[in-house]
């Protein structure tokens, strides 16, 4: 997380809301030879106290559950000093990131089917008016065979930290100018969203 306090003022509730909506992140745990990473969709409960996910059974993390961090990234972009129209500026990168920390544990295989049903329902629901995909569309025996290759897991959320680096350390007019350039010329992801966040940083 960025050490500048100007980028660390967003309430935990907004960080959790962001992570819950994004629902995809990078899971990291310590392994014998160094950090182990997996890129996973997840479900964060309404209280922000626990999240659920699944992993391929052969993933080394399955053999190393324990203290974990899930990094959830949002919109980002390079920021050119020229966009500020102010003296003595340097290049930087604006971004949103939320880190969820806590112990990761494997769940019984019996919990997998319900987790997969809820995960697919969550994401399919965002495709409305498309008719949701359901597991009963699978050929008999196929779903069961695929499920044998994955394991359900749960992480209790004990700490939430976030960085919303949106030029809050700049004067209002300077930040607004940079936001306009991000929307038009930015290099990164979800540029319109980042521009809007720069125009109206969450409080």
- The answer to whether 70 and 22 have CB atoms below 8 angstroms apart is no
Residue with tokens 């700049």: 170
Reading the chain (203 residues) residue by residue, the pLDDT tens digits are 889 999 999 999 999 999 999 999 999 999 888 999 999 999 999 999 999 999 999 999 999 899 999 999 999 999 999 999 999 999 999 999 999 999 999 999 999 999 999 999 999 999 999 999 988 888 888 989 998 999 999 999 999 999 999 999 999 999 999 999 999 999 999 999 999 999 999 98
Residue with tokens 């929307």: 183
C-alpha atoms less than 13 angstroms from C-alpha of 31 in its C-beta half-sphere: 13
pLDDT of res. 174: 96
pLDDT of res. 195: 98
Q: Where are the beta strands (DSSP E) in 1-140?
A: 24-31, 34-41, 43-44, 50-56, 67-79, 92-106
pLDDT of res. 137: 86
pLDDT of res. 203: 83
pLDDT of res. 49: 97
pLDDT of res. 33: 85
Query: CA–CA separation, 51 vs 154, rounded Å?
Result: 6
pLDDT of res. 135: 84
pLDDT of res. 67: 97
For the chain, domains (ranges, CATH) are 5-106+150-193 (2.30.110.10)
pLDDT of res. 132: 92
pLDDT of res. 184: 96
> What residues does 38 pair with on adjacent strands?
27
């Amino acid at each position: 997380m960025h050490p500048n306090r100007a980028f660390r003022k967003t309430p935990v509730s907004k960080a959790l809301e962001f992570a819950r909506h994004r629902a995809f992140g990078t899971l990291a745990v310590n392994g014998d030879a160094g950090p182990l990473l997996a890129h996973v969709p997840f479900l964060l409960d309404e209280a922000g106290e626990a999240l659920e996910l699944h992993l391929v059974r052969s993933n080394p993390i399955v053999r190393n559950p324990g203290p974990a961090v899930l990094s959830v990234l949002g919109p980002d972009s390079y920021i050119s000093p020229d966009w500020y129209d102010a003296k003595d500026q340097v290049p930087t990168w604006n971004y949103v990131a939320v880190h969820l920390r806590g112990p990761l544990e494997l769940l019984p295989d019996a919990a997998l089917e319900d987790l997969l049903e809820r995960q697919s329902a969550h994401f399919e629901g965002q495709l409305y008016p498309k008719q949701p995909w359901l597991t009963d569309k699978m050929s008999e025996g196929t779903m069961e065979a695929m499920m044998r290759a994955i394991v359900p897991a749960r992480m209790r959320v004990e700490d939430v930290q976030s960085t919303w680096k949106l030029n809050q350390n700049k004067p209002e007019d300077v930040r607004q100018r940079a936001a306009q350039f991000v929307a038009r010329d930015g290099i990164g992801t979800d540029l319109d969203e980042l521009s809007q966040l720069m125009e109206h940083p969450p409080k």
